[in-house]
Amino acid sequence: MLHNFKIKKIEAVILCAVFVFCLSACGSAETQITSTVSTSVLSETSRKKAEETSTTQAQTLFDETSGNSTESSTVTTEIRTTAGSKTTTVKPDKRIYTDANGDKAYIPEGFTVSAKKDERTINTGLVVIGPDSSEFVWIPTTLTPLKVRDFGSYIFGSSLSGYSDEADLELYKSMVRSTEKYGGFYIGRFEASKGTDGLPQSKRVTPENPGTVWVGLSPQKTADICQKKYPDNNGVQGFFPWGINWDTVLQWLIDSGCKQADEITTDSTSWGNYSNDTFSEGAEGNYTGAWEEAKANNIYDLAGNNWEWTQERHGISYVMRGGGYNMAGGACPGNKYPAALRDPLPGTDFHSNATFRLALFIK
């Protein structure tokens, strides 16, 4: 009798321990990152389906409040849409950042989100910093779809007729697929400067931040060196922006409420280093990121400063965008060079006031 009583007592203790462990496990499944779904909070049917199609992996997630990363064992990432929910697998070399508004961006391995409060919101310019300290801004195509736009500002012609991106290039196709899959791409926060490794970087260049804005490079050479950026990073691909990327950035400035349409298409003087602006005091294009007035959603010098090459074509010419420091931003008859302007020039030309901007897409 005593022997049987001890056995039953031990069994009861074990059952209590199992019950407490289950409660603890359920509690620990909660997370502040709404885009991450733990297997313990999935429905039984969804959990079994996820186990059949996915392998549990460690994924680094970002808490918007602290900016610190925490390891969490997850199976899938759930992206909710108005039509229900779509489940996709997230590779370990990508992380999901969720800002205070619930908007999301993919952060490549080796990149960090800026610690500055005004650089942590996607709709107003999420800034990420690369392993070489280059800075980029996430362009959310969930808000502004990736597409070519007719802003009505041309040196040659009066419409998009004759202007085109080389959409048959494999890199272009990869960029489009990536943007559709991940909901955005990255654009350099600054005009390109030359790194010690001979590759482009996106860093502030001012008297206090020495460097050299990279001018005088042909579009063909530009495309090559942009692709070579971050060669050992499996989560991100460098590229030289096409017209479709430039148009999407400008439209995003409008859609997010940062700029009015006429500040993009007609007169960009108020936010660009032009010959007729009120803040640069006649400065040339030696700097990038030098004036806060020339910042839009945390991106500097899209308007004025140096012309910027793109991969967009017009016949045999490549198209430059943005205008230059020696031009008027607008309001001058016959001399208007707003940010949206398309100016095609032969790609063999080396211009002392033409630079470019490095961009990235998620692999």
Mention every residue, 6+ apart, whose C-beta is less than 8 A from residue 113: 62, 67, 97, 107, 120, 126, 127, 128, 129
Q: Is 349 left (phi over 0), alpha (psi -120 to 50) or beta?
A: beta
pLDDT band at 156 (very low <50, low <70, confident <90, very high): confident
Question: SS3 of 3, please?
Answer: helix
pLDDT higher than 50, residue 69: no
Average pLDDT of the residues in 65-75: 33
Helix spans in the chain (H): 2-28, 44-53, 170-182, 219-227, 243-255, 261-265
Amino acid, single-letter form, for residue 284: E
pLDDT higher than 50, residue 24: no
The percentage of residues in the chain with a pLDDT greater than 70, rounded to a whole number, is: 73
Question: SS3 of 135, please?
Answer: strand
Rounded to an integer, what distance in angstroms lies between the CA atom of residue 288 and that of residue 202? 9
pLDDT band at 282 (very low <50, low <70, confident <90, very high): confident
Amino acid, single-letter form, for residue 260: Q
Q: Which residues pair with 185 in a beta bridge?
A: 139
Q: Write the class of the CATH domain 137-362.
A: alpha beta
Q: Which residues pair with 295 in a beta bridge?
A: 300
Exposure string for 212-248, b = 16+ CB within 10 A, e = fewer: ebbbebbbeebbebbeebbeebebbbbbbbbbbbbbb
Burial of 5 (0-12, 13-18, 19+ CB in 10 A): exposed
Specify the pLDDT at position 63.
Answer: 42
Between 157 and 127, the higher pLDDT residue: 127
Give yes or no for a contact between 306 and 324, defined as CB atoms under 8 angstroms apart: yes
Amino acid, single-letter form, for residue 81: T
pLDDT band at 173 (very low <50, low <70, confident <90, very high): very high
> For residue range 292-339, what is the model confidence (pLDDT) as tens digits?
999 999 999 999 999 999 999 999 999 999 999 999 998 666 678 999
Give yes or no for a contact between 162 and 169, defined as CB atoms under 8 angstroms apart: no
Q: At which residue do the structure tokens 């496990």 appear?
A: 25
Please provide the distance, in angstroms rounded to a whole number, between the alpha carbons at the two ends of the chain: 68
> For residue range 33-43, what is the model confidence (pLDDT) as tens digits?
333 323 333 33
Cα Rg for the chain, rounded, in angstroms?
Answer: 25
Specify the pLDDT at position 85.
Answer: 44
User: Minimum mean pLDDT among 49-53, 104-108, 209-213: which range?
Assistant: 49-53
Give yes or no for a contact between 350 and 328, defined as CB atoms under 8 angstroms apart: no
273: closest CA among 339, 345, 352, 357? 339
> For residue range 137-154, what is the model confidence (pLDDT) as tens digits?
999 999 999 999 999 999
pLDDT higher than 90, residue 268: yes
The percentage of residues in the chain with a pLDDT greater than 90, rounded to a whole number, is: 67
> For residue range 85-138, what is the model confidence (pLDDT) as tens digits?
444 444 566 799 999 999 999 999 999 999 999 999 999 999 999 999 999 999
pLDDT higher than 80, residue 258: yes
Specify the pLDDT at position 351.
Answer: 84
pLDDT higher than 80, residue 49: no
Phi, psi of 345 (to 5 degrees): -140, 155
For the entire predicted model, the pTM comes to 0.78
Return the domain boundaries, the chain: 32-92, 137-362
Rounded mean pLDDT of the chain?
80
